[in-house]
Amino acid sequence: MNDDRIMPNTPDADYSQALAEGWQPIREVARITGVNAVTLRAWERRYGLIVPHRTAKGHRLFSAEHILRIRHILTWLNRGVPVSQVKPLLDIAPAFREPVGNDWQAWRQALTLAITELAERKLDDNFNQVMSLYPAQTLCEQLLIPLLSELEQRWQGQFGAQLERVFFSSWLRSKLGARIYHNNRSLKGAPILLINHSPQYFEAHLWLTAWLVSSSHCPVEVFDAPLPNGELALAAERLKSPAVVLYSSQTLNPQQLPKLLNGIDCPTLIAGPTVCIHSAELAVCTTEIPGLFLALDPLEAHQRLSQLGLF
């Protein structure tokens, strides 16, 4: 089976010539666009969205036009168009066409049903299917963040809510944790440190942030519990972290931030609903504490870290 790599002592003149002419292998296109190779192949085989050049030995190669087309695909996906309906829209300027109906609500309903049934295999199968078709950022924006919001509303005062919450949280942490662990094994460099700064044992949006960063080819380390004053700086120092993310959906004491962040020499991001809760106080903190930034949700946290040049 071809895996788009040239094995040692297996020369491919067409491949070498194409690289010299500026064509890109699939692994490089995945790095540039943030769409993994499995998804790129699925877009090609199942929907004909991309038709890469093939060498005599079957290696996929992509041009600058292919990369631009992938970005156009992402534009439509991020506007809510399902992957099955993207192809007719690719040659139409996005500004002049509204997306057609999408199936994200159907995916959320399928996942919610699996959660209510405590059906781990069904939950896993559904998520694996959609994950093979969409990159992490699209999944977060169109599926997981809206799903978490719907679940929070569902779980307000409902009998069995804690049962469903624990079941789903355990599954999600295992699922994203496995992806992050796999990515970390293939990445080099010091990890961005992400810390659950809430009293509750699990912050789903923290793990979504970690997954987004990991999907941008940056190693991450997740601490799923708060650290006391002094030990946060110690953790950042030992890990040589290029940045620290503190995520909280709960209230915090902004006056304690200088002590908590004392000794940290890298950029620090406060993220989550706590940014809304303490918007005025935290805005003042960003002017008083060098290298402190704010983000409301995983997508904004990922964007902020990207703007800092961390991946």
The mean of the pLDDT values for the chain is 90
Give yes or no for residue 14 having a pLDDT over 80: no
Question: What percentage of the chain exceeds 90 in pLDDT?
Answer: 71
Express each pLDDT in 172-216 by its tens digit.
Answer: 999 999 999 999 999 999 999 999 998 888 899 999 999 999 999
Residues 130, 212, single domain; the answer is: no
Q: Look-up: residue for tokens 């919450």? A: 165
Whether 294 and 198 map to the same domain: the answer is: yes
Q: Does the residue 171 lie in any domain?
A: yes
Higher pLDDT residue, 67 or 251?
Answer: 67
Structure tokens that stand for 148 in this block? 């978490």
| Average pLDDT of the residues in 265-289 | 93
119 and 206 share a domain?
A: no
Token pair 């355990």: residue:
170
One domain, residues 297 and 194: yes
In a domain, 120, yes or no: yes
Mark whether 276 and 292 lie in a shared domain.
Answer: yes
Of 180, 201, 232, the residue that ends a domain is: 180
Percent of the chain having pLDDT more than 70? 92
**Looking at the structure, do residues 127 and 238 belong to the same domain, yes or no?**
no
pLDDT top residue among 94 and 301: 301
Q: What is the mean pLDDT of residues 67-86?
A: 87
Say whether pLDDT at 241 is over 90: yes
In this structure, the answer to whether residues 228 and 299 fall within a common structural domain is yes
pLDDT digits (tens, 9 = 90+) for 82-109: 899 889 888 765 444 444 446 899 999 9
Mean of pLDDT values over 275-290: 92
Residue 234 has pLDDT above 90, yes or no: yes
Q: Residue 27: which CATH number?
A: 1.10.1660.10
Clarify whether residues 90 and 108 are in a common domain. no
57, 77, 96: which is the final residue of a domain?
96
Number of domains in the chain: 3
- The answer to whether residues 291 and 266 touch, using CB atoms and an 8 Å cutoff, is yes
Whether 3 is covered by a domain: the verdict is no
Same domain, 281 and 203: yes
Query: Distance between CA 290 and CA 193 in Å, rounded?
Result: 18
Let me know if residue 4 belongs to a domain.
no
pTM metric for this prediction: 0.84
DSSP-derived secondary structure letter, 190: P
Spatial contact of 208 and 145, defined as CB atoms under 8 Å apart: yes
- Mean pLDDT to the nearest integer, 11-39: 86
Question: Coil, strand, or helix at residue 265?
Answer: coil
Residue 5 has pLDDT above 70, yes or no: no
Give 15 or 260, the one with higher predicted confidence. 260
Do 148 and 86 share a structural domain? no
Question: Which pLDDT does position 97 carry in this prediction?
Answer: 44
Lowest mean pLDDT of 41-45, 91-95, 228-232, 265-269, name the range.
91-95
The CB density around residue 123, as the number of other CB atoms within 10 Å, is 22
Average pLDDT estimate for 22-43: 93
Q: Does any domain span residue 228?
A: yes
Segments forming the whole domain that contains residue 262: 187-307
Residue 7 lies in a domain: no
Q: Which of 146, 180, 214 marks a domain boundary?
A: 180
Residue 209 lies in a domain: yes
Any domain includes 6: no
For residues 113 and 202, membership in a common domain is answered with: no
Q: Say how far residue 6 (Cα) sits from the centre of its chain.
A: 29
| pLDDT of 2 | 52
The residue assigned the tokens 């915090």 is 252
Provide mean pLDDT across the span 68-90.
87
pLDDT digits (tens, 9 = 90+) for 124-180: 999 999 999 999 999 999 999 999 999 998 898 789 999 999 999 999 999 999 999
Instruction: Provide the CA 101 distance to its chain's centre, in angstroms.
Output: 24
Question: Could you tell me if 191 and 164 lie in one domain?
Answer: no
